Amino acid sequence: MDINSYNTYKKPTWCPGCGNFGIWIALKTALSQLEIETHKVTIVFDVGCSGNGSSFIKCYGFHGLHGRSLPVAMGIKLVCDNTKVIIMSGDGGALGIGVGHFIHACRRNVDMTMIIHDNQVYGLTTGQTSPASEKGYKSKTTPLGVLEESVNPVLLALSSKCGFVSQGFSGQMNHLVDLMKSGINYKGFAFINVFQPCVTYNHVNTFEYFQKRVYKLEETDYKTDDYNAALIKAQECGDKIPLGILYSVERETYEEGSVYTDLSKNLSPDNINRNIFELLSEFE
């Protein structure tokens, strides 16, 4: 499939050099390599610079409320088997206002793929501190430096029992494409944290910053099925930053667990007007 078939009439409006371009191209590439046609994928976007991407990708798109992309995605997936569901969110939306949904999505394990555009800053609202900003990070809202420890997204996902936890970098396109493909193919809730430098507002976590620090787990003898090892590996986020799959195991999905209801039977025009006669007998 031509990756341009995923384009809309609208050209991206991100700042020149923004890390979102890399994610955008990687996602289109992954979809095209997986031969998922535009009508076979639903992408739920958060509000943010990441979410502005909703206007640049042709698919069934849903650009919802800030922090609420996961619940929308779950609603879609639980009734519609017929589509791949991908969530694209900023770090603010996913780990700040929406972190509750993230915790519950991890333990719920609905078959969807979540990609965080982790620029460690609030981009669209012009550069405030985000929960992923490093301790001490200075911004308009924390002029003397943020006092909180930063959220560690991969550690949080692991402790919430996510079965597929991984990390990518928008500066490493091919690797990111592979990661997305693995995530999309994973049966269950797959989480990909993508470092996405914000060239306009984040002058700490730049392309160079990551280029210097990242390394690929695939190039080490790291095993991806050892939970405790993953918990330890996930803590590496200083001088060395691991890219790749930190943890991947098979877990029963939510849908598999609820086989007693065929989740996708309710979309046809015919099933209106169920017969509830039997139900009424209880109330006689």
Partner 1 sequence: MYDIDWKIAGVGGMGAMGVGLIFSKFMMRTGYWVVDYNEYNSIIKGGHNTFQVRASLEVNYCVSSKVDLLIALDEYSLIYSNSLKNDSSVILCDWELIKDKTVVDRSRVVDVPFSVINKSEGGDEIMKNIIALGASLALIGADIDICVDILNEQFGKKGDLVVEKNIKLLKAGYNYILGKYRNYMVLFTRKHGMYKTIEPSDKRYLITGNEAIALSSVEEGLGFFAAYPMTPASSILHYLASISSDYNFVVKQTEDEIAAINSAIGASFAGARSMTSTSGGGFALMTEGLGLAAITETPIVVCVVSRPGPSTGMPTWTDQGDLRFVMHSSQGEFLRVVLTPSDPEECFRLTKVAFYLSEKYQIPVIILTDKYIAEGHWSCRIDLNITTASRNSLISQVALDRIETYERYSDTPSGITPRSLPGMKKGEYLANSDEHDNYGINSEDASNRLVQLNKRYTKKLARLISELPTNKIYGNKDSKNAVITFGSLKNQVLESMKTNTNFKYMNLRCVCPFPTSEVNSFLDGIDNLFVIENNYIGQLAGLIREYVGRAPNYQLLKDDGRPIQYEEILDFMKKNGY
Among 146, 198, 243, 246, interactor with ligand SF4 by CB under 6 A:
198
User: 87 is written with which tokens?
Assistant: 């969530």
Find, among 29, 256, 205, 76, the residue nearest to 193 by Cα: 205
What are residue 248's phi and psi, to 5 degrees?
A: -155, 115
CA distance 72 to 229: 33
Chain residues binding ligand TPP by CB under 6 A are 46-50, 66, 90-93, 117, 119, 121-125, 130
Site for Mg ion in 95-154 (CB under 5 A): 119, 123
Of the ranges 23-31, 69-77, 196-204, 263-271, which one interacts with ligand SF4 (CB under 6 A)? 196-204
CB 169 within 8 A of CB 214: yes
Interface map 33-72 toward ligand SF4 (x if CB under 6 A): ----------------x-----------------------
User: 217 is written with which tokens?
Assistant: 């787990």
Site for a copy of itself in 89-128 (CB under 8 A): 96-100, 103-104, 107-109
User: 101 is written with which tokens?
Assistant: 């949904």
CB 180 within 8 A of CB 22: no
Nearer to ligand SF4, 83 or 125 (CB): 125
Of the ranges 28-36, 195-203, 238-246, 267-275, which one interacts with ligand SF4 (CB under 6 A)? 195-203
Cβ contacts of 130 within 8 Å, gap of 6 or more: 90, 91, 92, 95, 96, 119, 120, 121, 122
User: 196 is written with which tokens?
Assistant: 């996405």
Site for a copy of itself in 138-177 (CB under 8 A): 144, 147-152, 155-156, 158-161
| 14, interface contact from ligand SF4, Mg ion, ligand TPP, none, CB < 5-8 Å by kind | ligand SF4
Residue 171: beta bridge partners?
none
From the CB of 57, what's the least distance to ligand TPP, in Å? 15
Counted residue by residue, the chain has a size of 284
Site for a copy of itself in 253-272 (CB under 8 A): 254, 257-258, 260
Q: What is the CA radius of gyration of the chain?
A: 20
| Count of residues near a copy of itself by CB under 8 A | 31
> Counting contacts by CB under 8 A, is residue 223 touching a copy of itself?
no
> Counting contacts by CB under 6 A, is residue 20 touching ligand SF4?
yes
CB 215 within 8 A of CB 241: yes
Long-range contacts of 129-138 (CB under 8 A, 24+ apart): 130/90, 130/91, 130/92, 130/95, 130/96, 131/91, 131/92, 131/95, 131/96, 131/99, 132/91, 132/92, 132/95, 134/204, 134/205, 137/204
> Counting contacts by CB under 5 A, is residue 166 touching Mg ion?
no
Nearer to ligand TPP, 128 or 159 (CB): 128
Nearer to partner 1, 101 or 213 (CB): 101
Nearer to ligand SF4, 74 or 115 (CB): 115
From the CB of 58, what's the least distance to a copy of itself, in Å? 33
Contact residues toward a copy of itself (CB under 8 A) are 96-100, 103-104, 107-109, 131, 144, 147-152, 155-156, 158-161, 228, 231-232, 254, 257-258, 260
